[in-house]
Amino acid sequence: MRGERHLLRIGEYLVGRACQRLPRDIREERCREWAAELPAILHDPQIRLAPWRAVRMLSYAADTVRGTVSLSSKSRGRTPRITPVIYLLLLACLGSMAWDIWSTVRAPEHGLNYLQLAWDVLLVAYPVSVLARSCVRRASLIIISSTLAGEAVMLWNAAHAPRDWVNYFAAALFFAALLVLLRLVWQLPRRRSRTGRA
Amino acid sequence: MTAQLERVLGAFLADPAAPRYGYDLMKAARLPSGTLYPLLARLEHQKLVASAWEIPQQHGQPPRKYYRLTAEGIRAARLDLAHASARRQHALAHSGRPAPGSLG
């Protein structure tokens, strides 16, 4: 096939990129396994049209990236030492962010508070990006973040209108929802490991 | 059991003794690589599937990883597929529609 070598090189590049997301202990073997399939797909006698074989090979290579998310989260379960540290870091960053939100609410005219808040968002982004690899975790983090934002808004409203009891009621509701969500997220990995789901 | 897993086990059980490589299983189970390989890794972790590197018969091809069901895997796969089939029949019977092939 014309341009076969270039196509293979693109496929190998995609597989290589996918394998970079895998832990070291399984990376090399997976990479070898997936790369070995590329020429076989490109020469598949069951597919008559050469462009279709090329598309098939490239889609195979591109889809391995999706597979590595699941594979890396499974092997992450085998090395749980880092996870508590990341959770602690996340908790510390969230605490710092909550403090800065409170400071901003108390002194909205003070520009430095906004800068600190932006810095905290960046700090929170790191542990979140490490932890949020599976879809369920990502979804739960989004829900918790939005509840946290709701809580912040209600506290803001309560600070601006201290006599309005509705704000306190809504803030308490958001807080209760946050506690329930955190409890659910805490239990989720245990439940998943008990049922054997990845 | 998910539909994807059912398809992979079905593909293996078509010829349980035959070693299958990833692309072959992809075609048989009609699954993309991003779905198939995590499933294979899970089955391998549960010792239901064993893998080995073999050199293909065609000249010039690099070694490929072949998968095959273990004895325990064959037993578990047959049992799981039978359960899944029974559940489907049960669901069809309760939905009031005739099961496929039951009308002569």
- Closest to A33 in 3D by CA, of A20, A17, A45, A15: A15
Compute the count of residue pairs across chains A and B with CB atoms less than 8 Å apart. Answer: 64
Q: What is the pLDDT along chain A (198 residues), one digit of tens a residue?
A: 667 888 899 999 999 988 888 888 888 999 999 999 999 898 888 988 888 999 999 999 988 888 887 776 655 554 455 567 778 888 888 888 888 888 888 888 777 778 777 777 877 877 777 766 656 666 677 778 777 877 887 888 888 888 888 888 888 988 998 888 888 777 766 555 554 444
**Considering only CB atoms, which chain B residues are within 8 Å of A64?**
33-34, 37
Pair of tokens at residue B27: 């075609």
**Cβ-based burial of A21 (10 A; exposed 0-12, middle 13-18, buried ≥19):** middle
**Considering only CB atoms, which chain A residues are within 8 Å of B22?**
33-34, 37
Give me the residue label for tokens 């098939």.
A56
Q: CB-CB: which of B21, B34, B61 is closest to A67?
A: B34
Best residue in A43, A53, A56, A70 for a mutation probing chain B (most B CBs within 10 Å): A70
Contact B62 A35 (CB under 8 A): yes
Query: How far is Cα A121 from Cα A131, in angstroms, rounded to an integer?
Result: 15
Whole-angstrom CA distances from A153 to A53, A147, A156, A158, A186 are 54, 10, 5, 9, 25
Contact A103, A116 (CB under 8 A): yes
Query: How far is Cα B75 from Cα A188, in angstroms, rounded to an integer?
Result: 31
pTM here is: 0.56
Nearest C-alpha of chain B: how many angstroms from A112? 46
Contact A64 B42 (CB under 8 A): no
Contact A8, A35 (CB under 8 A): no
Query: How far is Cα A187 from Cα A167, in angstroms, rounded to an integer?
Result: 30
Q: CB-CB: which of B22, B32, B46 is closest to A37?
A: B22
